[in-house]
Each structure stands twice: as structure tokens, then as C-alpha cells.
Amino acid sequence: MTKALIIGGGIAGAVTAMALQKAGMESEIFESYPTGADDVGAFLVVFANGLEALRVIDAQAPVVEHSFPAQRVALIGSDGARLGERPIAGTEQGAGLGPRTLRRATLYQVLHTEAARRGIAVRHGKRLTGAETVRTAGGTRVIATFADGSRAEGDFLVGADGLHSVTRTLIDPAAPRPRYTGQNTVCGYTRDADVALPPETYTMIHGSRAFVGCTRAPDGEIWWFANIPGTELDRAHPPAAAPRAWRERLAGLLADDDTPAAAIVRATDDRIVASNAYDLASTPTWHTDTMVVLGDAAHAAAPNAAQGASMAIEDGIVLAKCLRDHPEPRRAFVAYEQLRRERVEKVVAASAGLAQRIASGTSGGRPARADGAERGGPGDGNWLTGYRIEW
């Protein structure tokens, strides 16, 4: 049986492994983190296109079970004026297709649990350091080496190892590096804010100096995020007093606005996390004869479009379908790139436009769409959330 070596145990890695199994192939996941890449604290949204892609591999139900819905977005200006309300992209296409919100760590755990239930092996503490293609009597093989000195052999290697991908640089040492977009993303959780928020709604607050989005979970807790201009943070050594410092900084940016955003931030305890926003507009080379990248390793959008998880899910399933239909890996990789490159680069470009407005402190006089889209962007028409994979 054909065997894949999947580098990275995040969203893309787990989904790819399950999709390959559906296509009749064996795979093994190699994760660099010792206990799982939990990315503690952050949350994300899986939109209709991501949910429908998960349905292809019968993995939609556990994700829905561990998440909560949003059906609409309410828009508020810096003066507190209500600017309108509309359905979030995808909800108009039928019941159950609205976006689902959950912690990133929860999505990892759900997908890993489902992969394990299907007998897919995950090897932790395996940091990829190299890979080589070898010719044998039985055909072409790829051998991966890891920092602990171990090796693994398979028919091809899938780089699902994220934004700072080792696989990407093995495929092309001159591959571009991720670009810092000029914004920080801060998120937090609070039960103590005395703020009325409508159910199943993302309230998007376009402040004069910061953009805030928030929603209330079914248990009453408010989940919020903010996109603000800022310098690139040291990823390896974050400041020790980060939660308090971020709360004070963000509350200060929101203090002059007549909105509930400042109150929500001030009511949040130390459950505040901040990260840099990066993107990767275009990776010239996605594959060799035996290696291929997907998800953030191949393309990464700033978080404004909120499509990172859904794009990774789509990638894994399309790649598996191509490998099913084209037994030679290189032909499958070419077909996969032809099907995916235009779509993902369009998402990256749209999200970069929104990020640039935040980083520059300008808005063009109107708030951003809750689904990360503007007129003429991925929220218009059906091209983004209406995407479906015919297995």
C-alpha cells in the first residue's frame, strides 16, 4: 500500500491523513511538539466551505459537536452607532452551514482523536531536519530524517508543517519567508463584562484606533479578538507580563470610543494572548517529485479573512483526491497545484488588503466584514464559502 509521511500534526496534517485513508493510502504523522501543537488560547472559525470539506471525510460531526454557531454579523462604529446587520457568508445556503467557532487547541484535539480512532499513527517529538529522494528497485522513495536521529521512509512526503515550514525550504531553499503584516492579533475570554450581545452573532466594532470582534458562547462567556497596528513580537521570548500589558494597551486604544469594546477588554483577566499576523502571498515551488506542501506551509493569509483553517482542510482533501486519481505522485502534485493555487492566492490577497488597512490605521470610512470580506472580495458572490469538493 502507498505510504505518505505527513510532517506536522496540526489541522492540515490530520485532515490530509484521514483523506488519504479514504483514498486507500496509508500515512503516518510526524509532529515536532512533544504533546501536540495546541496553540493554547487562540480561537478560530471554520466556515461553510471548511465544514463541507470535512463532510467529505466524515469528520464534520465531531467539529460541530465541539463548537458553537454564528449566523449573522452586527456592525458598530466608533461612536456606538449601529451600522447594520447581515447574514455571515454561508448561512444563506442552508441550515447547518453557518460558521462554527472553537478554540484552535480544541480543533487539533478533535481531529487527532478522530484520526486515532481510524488507526492513523501520530509520532510526537519528531522535528524534521532533512529529506532525500532515493531510487530503489521498487521505485522512487523518500527518506525523512528527524532531530532525534530517527528516520522514516515512504512513497512521498507531505509538508503540513505550518507557516515556518521546514519542508518548504527543503523543496526550495530560496522559497520566500512569511511576511509580517504590521498588525498584532489579540484575543481573550471573559464572563465578567456587563455587556449585552445578541446570540449567534459576531459583533464587529470598528474603533477609531483598533478593530474588535466579539461573540457570546452558549455558556455566556464572551470570546473576543482585536486587530491592531503594532511591531513584530519576539515569538521565542514573549514578555512575562503580556496579558496585563495587552489589556492595558488595548483598553487605552478603545477608551475614546463610545462602544462596549473597552469594557469587554477591561473585564478580561489573564486569559489574553497575542500573536503576530503573517502572510505568505505566493510560494513559487509547491512540490518536487516526492515532496509537496499544503496549508500555511504553501500559502498563508493574514487572519482578517478567518479562512486559514478552512483553506488547510480543503487543501488536504483535494491533495488526497489528486493522489487517488494520479498514482504517480508528481502528476498528482501538479494537478493539486492547478486546482488550488489561484483560489488560495486570491484569499491571501483579499485578507492582506484588510490587514493593510488595520496596520496603517485607516479604514476607508467603513468597517470590515465579519467574514473577512469587502465588496469585491471573498464575501461577494459564492466563490469563497460556496466552494465544494466533489470526491
| pLDDT greater at residue 364 or residue 225 | 225
pLDDT digits 0-9 by tens, 194-213? 999 999 999 999 999 999 99
What's the confidence (pLDDT) of residue 364? 36
- Mean pLDDT across 237-253: 84
CB atoms within 10 A of CB 67: 22
Task: Confirm if 273 and 42 have CB atoms less than 8 A apart.
Answer: yes
What cell was used for 318?
Answer: 483535494
Farthest CA pair distance, the chain: 72
Which are the contacts of 388, defined by CB distance < 8 A and separation ≥ 6? Answer: 49, 52
Task: Confirm if 152 and 30 have CB atoms less than 8 A apart.
Answer: yes
Task: Confirm if 205 and 212 have CB atoms less than 8 A apart.
Answer: yes
Task: Confirm if 62 and 54 have CB atoms less than 8 A apart.
Answer: no
Please report, as a single letter, which amino acid is at residue 286. W
Whether the per-residue pLDDT at 66 is higher than 80: the answer is yes
pLDDT digits 0-9 by tens, 301-354? 988 788 999 999 999 999 999 999 998 999 999 999 999 999 999 999 888 776
